Structure 1
Amino acid sequence: MQTYRLAICENELIQAKFIQKILADYAVERGIQFHLPIFESAEAFLFEYAENKAVDLLFLDIQMEELDGVALAEKIRETVDQLKIVFITGMTERIGEGYRVSASDFLIKPVKKDQLYAVLDRVLTTIPKEEAVIVLPIEDEQVKLPLSRLICAEIVGKELVITTTTSTYSLKTSMQDFMKQLDNKQFIQTNRNWLINCQHIERVKKSEVIMANELVIPISRRNSKDVAQAFISYFRKDAQ
């Protein structure tokens, strides 16, 4: 499930919670996940953001006490360009100030659900997707592996041998337990002992699949249709 890191900086707590509820509903309806902390002042957000810049999209009230929303955005832009900012305001005359700090959009108070949904539909498409990863327990360390690098996995004796674009790893785990960590639309078993990543398939034949690294992997008669369909479905989705 795709996760986006959102934040709401709004000094009116009732308004902030109202926006938070709409955002939560949107996430459920779209099948995605939001982190949704609320900050009741620009200073509180700035303190947190200085420590941990883990925010993709900030909903920012323009009119706040002491440091206002535009001033906060200017401070953010001194060091960060990629953070998406959506201003919330009841003062339409200040909308022009948002262009100085490359605001992605604006919401006029009182915020309406359909307007917020429309903003999300536009802005979320501009946020790079977070690459899915798994963590492999290799001997006495934990190795983080992006799923895009995983080519295939094979049961060899009592171990699972994983081939990636850069390395090979051996794990003491079962195929079933390993598959629980994966996106089942991207990975498919060709037979009881082999699992492949559709992203790295070069060609599919009746009894074997040729991977992009030229590795030839056998396909059982039972799994041949499923492998062919998974290959077609994956690249059809990827092309959309």
Structure 2
Amino acid sequence: MLNIAICDDDDLIAHQIESVLHNISDEENVKIDTDVFYSGNNLVREISSGKKFDLIYMDIQMENGDGITAAKNIRKKDEDVMIIFISSYDRYVMELFRLDVFSFIRKPIDRDSFAQIFLEANQRICSRNHFFSFKYKSQEYKVLSKEILYFESKARQINIHVRDGNKYVFNGKLSEVEKGLSSGKVTFLRIHQSYLVNYLLIKSRSKSNVTLINGEVLPISEDRQKEFSKEYSRLLRGDIYV
């Protein structure tokens, strides 16, 4: 899921951006969560309090904290968040380069170009390295989420099976792992009481099992077959390009 902030002191523009984003996310099967801010100062305060965003749409000219100043302060707190500036003027372009801004959108907003920039931003965000972290015997570990084949629940422990053949273990419940991963950038699907599988590393599937890219076959429990098939098909439609 992408956490997106929209910052514009014109509430009509702010809600137009929010509406367009949700329309595009529905069409492209991209999960998003949006928060709207009407001043740069409010957004900076929210980020300073610990709130994390993946993407920010920021108006440059605002009365209570202009976008340029807000972006400079945000960069002090978060070097990774992607920023897209929105403005009726392009005289700020050189300043945007210094702030490592992903893109610039001119007002009035053109939906097609807006959608293209959003999808490019989403692809860039999803290509970044995201980690699953856990503790075991007083040690902290992290594993690249995209490299995890599946999680296996066994005897009150969770086994992490990784693409390179390594296996990690920690104490926990699979339901808690599933909940924690639900807002992540890599999609994991529950196929069984004991298995949570990385959708991206499924090579093929049948009604009763999935085959992973390493050739390993895992069962789909009967009570999860319908829901798994529905979610898998939805995700697959978003990944097919003709």
Match of 1:127 in 2: 125
Distance in 2 between residues matched to 1:126 and 1:189, nearest whole Å: 28
More deviation, 44-53/145-154: 145-154
- 1:127 aligned counterpart, secondary structure: helix
2:6–2:14: 8 Å Cα contact kept in structure 1? yes
Match of 2:79 in 1: 81
Match of 2:197 in 1: 182
Q: TM-score, normalised by structure 2?
A: 0.62
Cα shift at 1:153 = 4.7
The residue type equivalent to 1:126 in the other structure is R
Distance in 2 between residues matched to 1:113 and 1:65, nearest whole Å: 26
Computing the radius of gyration from Cα coordinates, the structure with the larger value is 1
1:9–1:40: 8 Å Cα contact kept in structure 2? yes
Cα shift at 1:93 = 2.2
2:85–2:104: 8 Å Cα contact kept in structure 1? yes
2:47–2:77: 8 Å Cα contact kept in structure 1? no
2:149–2:201: 8 Å Cα contact kept in structure 1? no
1:88–1:107: 8 Å Cα contact kept in structure 2? yes
The residue type equivalent to 2:28 in the other structure is R
2:211–2:218: 8 Å Cα contact kept in structure 1? no
Cα shift at 1:51 = 1.6
Match of 1:24 in 2: 22
More deviation, 158-167/122-131: 158-167
Identify which of structures 1 and 2 has the higher relative contact order when contacts are C-alpha pairs closer than 8 Å and 6+ apart. 2
Cα shift at 1:103 = 1.3
1:150–1:162: 8 Å Cα contact kept in structure 2? no
Cα shift at 1:148 = 3.7
- Structure 2: which 5+ runs fail to align? 137-141, 176-189, 220-238
After superposition, the Cα gap between the structure-2 partners of 1:98 and 1:16, relative to the gap in structure 1 and judged at 3 Å, is same
- Does 2:43 correspond to 1:45? yes
**In the TM superposition, what whole-angstrom CA distance separates every residue of 1:171-223 from its partner, at most 9, and x where no partner exists?**
799973334x4345645799x9x98753xx2xx5xxxx6xxxxxxx899xxxx
1:159–1:172: 8 Å Cα contact kept in structure 2? no
Match of 2:168 in 1: 167
Distance in 1 between residues matched to 2:174 and 2:115, nearest whole Å: 46
Distance in 2 between residues matched to 1:160 and 1:75, nearest whole Å: 43
Cα shift at 1:115 = 1.8
Distance in 2 between residues matched to 1:127 and 1:60, nearest whole Å: 17
RMSD across aligned positions (CA): 4.2
- 2:45 aligned counterpart, secondary structure: helix
Match of 1:57 in 2: 55
Match of 1:229 in 2: none
- 1:55 aligned counterpart, secondary structure: coil
After superposition, the Cα gap between the structure-2 partners of 1:176 and 1:125, relative to the gap in structure 1 and judged at 3 Å, is closer
Q: TM-score, normalised by structure 1?
A: 0.63
Distance in 1 between residues matched to 2:174 and 2:68, nearest whole Å: 54
Cα shift at 1:120 = 1.1
- Structure 1: which 5+ runs fail to align? 139-143, 210-216, 220-236
More deviation, 59-68/116-125: 116-125
Match of 1:98 in 2: 96
**In the TM superposition, what whole-angstrom CA distance separates every residue of 1:104-146 from its partner, at most 9, and x where no partner exists?**
11111111211211211322222145758699xx9xxxxx985
The residue type equivalent to 2:56 in the other structure is L
Question: How many matched pairs?
Answer: 192
1:9–1:16: 8 Å Cα contact kept in structure 2? yes
After superposition, the Cα gap between the structure-2 partners of 1:184 and 1:116, relative to the gap in structure 1 and judged at 3 Å, is closer
